[in-house]
């Protein structure tokens, strides 16, 4: 019985170690300039199981600069203008405010029957540090017609925090 319990503990510890590893879509060093580029895999912030609408984020480190790429899928067309804000509400009622770095028009993806946009937000050192320490409970993404406001479910509230630690 003790051996079985020991084996279960070892397996569970292995899962927790693997869960903390960073996973990247891009993780490379330029052989000429030695510049590091890392782009994390996406972390889901919000998803609707019935409609398929969702919002996910990934963090990017390139040329020493950090940014957040927010991917949003919606049944309606939308546009995000340069300077439109992305506001995260944290569990301690503080906010983290980012600005879109360019105009982005959602494109229609026929397969998904949704409009999809990947919006890039510059991430200052201060905001990157805040993301790595904060638990995000809600977010508001400004766009040309107003904003999308979403609550982040408890099981996803630390996704940005974990992604942020992957590019520190």
- Put simply, whether the predicted model's pTM sits higher than 0.75 gets the answer yes
Q: Where does 24-166 sit in CATH, by number?
A: 2.60.40
CB 131 within 8 A of CB 157: no
Three-state secondary structure of 74-116: ECCCCEECCCCEEEEEECCCCEEEEEECCCEECEEECCCCEEE
| DSSP 8-state assignment for residue 18 | H
CB 82 within 8 A of CB 144: no
Q: What is the pLDDT of residues 63-116, one digit of tens each?
A: 899 999 999 999 999 999 999 999 999 999 999 999 999 999 999 999 888 999
In the chain, where the domains are located = 24-166
Q: Which residues contact 145 (CB under 8 A, 6 or more apart)?
A: 78
**pLDDT at site 20:** 53
pLDDT at 5 over 80: no
Name which residue leads in pLDDT, 36 or 7.
36
Report CA torsion sign: 81, 115, 148, 87. negative
**pLDDT at site 81:** 97
């Amino acid at each position: 019985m003790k051996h079985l319990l020991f084996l279960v503990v070892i397996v569970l510890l292995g899962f927790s170690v693997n869960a903390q590893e960073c996973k990247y879509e891009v993780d490379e060093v330029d052989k000429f300039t030695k510049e590091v580029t890392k782009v994390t895999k996406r972390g889901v912030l919000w998803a609707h199981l019935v409609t398929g609408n969702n919002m996910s984020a990934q963090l990017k480190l390139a040329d020493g600069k950090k940014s957040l790429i927010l991917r949003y899928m919606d049944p309606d067309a939308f546009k995000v203008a340069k300077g439109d804000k992305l506001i995260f509400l944290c569990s301690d009622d503080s906010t983290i405010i980012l600005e879109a770095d360019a105009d982005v028009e959602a494109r229609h993806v026929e397969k998904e029957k949704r409009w999809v946009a990947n919006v890039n937000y510059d991430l200052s050192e201060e905001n990157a540090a805040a993301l790595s320490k904060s638990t995000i409970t809600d977010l508001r993404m400004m766009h040309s017609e107003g904003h999308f406001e979403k609550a982040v479910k408890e099981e996803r509230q630390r996704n940005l925090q974990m992604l942020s630690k992957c590019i520190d």
